[in-house]
Structure 1
Amino acid sequence: MAATTDTLNDFLPEALRFTAPAELVDIGANLTHESFAHDREAVIERARTANVTTLVLTGTDREHAEQAVELARQYAGIHATAGVHPHDASDWTSELQTAMRALHLQPEVVAVGECGLDFNRNFSTPSEQERAFEAQLGLAVESGLPLFIHERDAGRRMLDILHNWRDDICDAVIHCFTGERDTLHGYLDLDLHIGLTGWLCDERRGHHLRELVGDIALERLMVETDCPYLLPRNLPTKLKGRRHEPALLPWIVREIAYWRGNDEAAVARATSDTARRFFRLEDR
């Protein structure tokens, strides 16, 4: 059922109804999250109204990857990734590897992931994480798809692994980058891409990113909400429920442009061009 005007407008206060100066690509939207179950279509329509015209839905495990593929089949401008998050690396089996391989053959799937390392919480052990990550690196080589990578508090080990695989994989993006300067430059030295989120807008922990955004060439930079997580803390008004959504991506782009000293429209165009090229969306 189509979303009504009332449904579209009743969630976002007027002060948060942004419109990007150029079409945006949100490279990391968790629209399969249960918090979107009751109004997902309205969320997608609000994104389009904000000029966020393309969404890449993150598949963090088999179930959510399959759901992302189904949504990509239903809505124009939506694509999916398929992978196993490091939190769930202990679930990795040969059967799951076979299922992921099949998902990567689906035309709706544009990247392998979300996969990687998270040594912050260690819901799976580091050895389990590395095993699942390297298996998915192998799947990326098989499929020729780019990688959508999660890394938190594991920069040194991630750099070691990616250095060993760099000649075999094609492209990779470190999504929701939150690391330090040395880690960032290590990724850039490997010709990797960087995804930035509302973490930049967090006065408690994002200050260091504001000093680093200028180090990332626009042809290596992409933008994402990682919704429903990481709602920007510096929005001009409060949002009921604290659920993030793609319609707020223009605010993040505005912040990135400010801290880079760039024109907002130029950042919007460049990051979208980079995302379309990275995920090969022109061919889809």
Structure 2
Amino acid sequence: MNIWTDICVNLTNSRFSKDSDEVIQRAIDAGVSRMVLAGTDLDHSKRAVELCEKYPMHLRCTVGCHPHDAKEMDDEKWQMMESLYASPFVVAVGECGLDFNRNYSEPNQQINVFTTQLELACKHQLPVYLHERDAHNEMVSILHQYKAKLNKMLLHCFTGDEEQLQAYLELDMYIGITGWICDDRRNQSLLDAIELIPNDRLMIETDAPFLMPKTIKAKSNRNEPCYLPEVCRRVAEARNIDHEIIAAITTLNSATFFDWPVDLSAVKKS
């Protein structure tokens, strides 16, 4: 049986407030037995750690501040957030980065909060879990300043083009692919770029409850981690590789990146 790892589940989102246990079980039943919960602010990060404590075999999480919420951070919140990095279930700093698409927080606030989290990642020697939208050049410039000190970097939900991908790969980044690849109305740039991602830098994710794969016909538009195999299938199709190989290499890559060991004998090899 394949083992899938979903590297981005927003399980603390309000859309999962009534049935998170059932969502987790559906994922496990579908073979998605390893999930990384995204911490996007202090409250969501705390709740992500609590869920990991409840499901220690299946969940890990990140702790950080999404650029949308940069304006909410203060000294007390930074202190409380940093204390969470002591948890054995916290595997990365983030979801952090820059998002100039809507600017829910001012760009300067975003940059300050982003660089603070990069400093925390260096201090605690944790990987960085990145978000970027309409801020590619600015983020790449900042990351080059920290590259020598950072542990590892992952850009989640990559939707860019070949030029942007090459810039991220020059930073030795891991790249996360979502159900965006299933949307033929807007996935052409991603399809053109995806073959350029080295096998040892590729990961897959749902970003649930967001980005429901367009190729899935469901009653609800709420995405769930149980739909990760569809993302895997489309990635495999785009790279002309068997989906079982994609399942294996992305799970192994996530194990390496998040320092979350996986039983290699349980991963179906091809």
Distance 1:187 1:74 in 2: 35
**Map of 1:256 onto structure 2:** 235
Percent of aligned pairs with the same amino acid:
43
1:106-185 residue pairs with structure 2 within 5 A? Answer: 106-185=87-166
Is the Cα contact below 8 Å between 1:213 and 1:260 reproduced in 2?
yes
Q: Does 1:277 align with 2:256?
A: yes
Secondary structure of 2:203's counterpart equals: strand
Is the Cα contact below 8 Å between 1:201 and 1:255 reproduced in 2?
yes
Provide the aligned length of Structure 1 versus Structure 2. Answer: 261
Amino acid at match of 1:160: S
Distance 1:37 1:100 in 2: 22
Distance 1:82 1:39 in 2: 22
**Map of 2:16 onto structure 1:** 36
TM-score by length of 1: 0.90
Secondary structure of 1:242's counterpart equals: coil
Secondary structure of 1:28's counterpart equals: strand
Deviates more, 1:148-157 or 1:274-283: 274-283
1:1-284 residue pairs with structure 2 within 5 A? Answer: 22-75=2-55, 76-235=57-216, 238-282=217-261
Is the Cα contact below 8 Å between 1:152 and 1:179 reproduced in 2?
no
Summarize deviations over 1:84-119 as a string: whole Å, max 9, x none: 000011112222221121111111111100010001
Secondary structure of 1:31's counterpart equals: coil
Offset at 1:273?
0.0
Secondary structure of 1:280's counterpart equals: coil
Secondary structure of 2:261's counterpart equals: helix
Offset at 1:202?
1.1
Distance 1:104 1:219 in 2: 26
Distance 2:201 2:141 in 1: 20
Q: Which consecutive unaligned segments of at least 5 residues does structure 1 have?
A: 1-20
Secondary structure of 2:185's counterpart equals: coil
CA RMSD in angstroms comes to 1.0
Amino acid at match of 1:261: N
Segments ≥4 residues shifted beyond 2 Å: none
Distance 2:156 2:63 in 1: 14
Amino acid at match of 1:151: E
TM-score by length of 2: 0.95
Offset at 1:241?
2.1
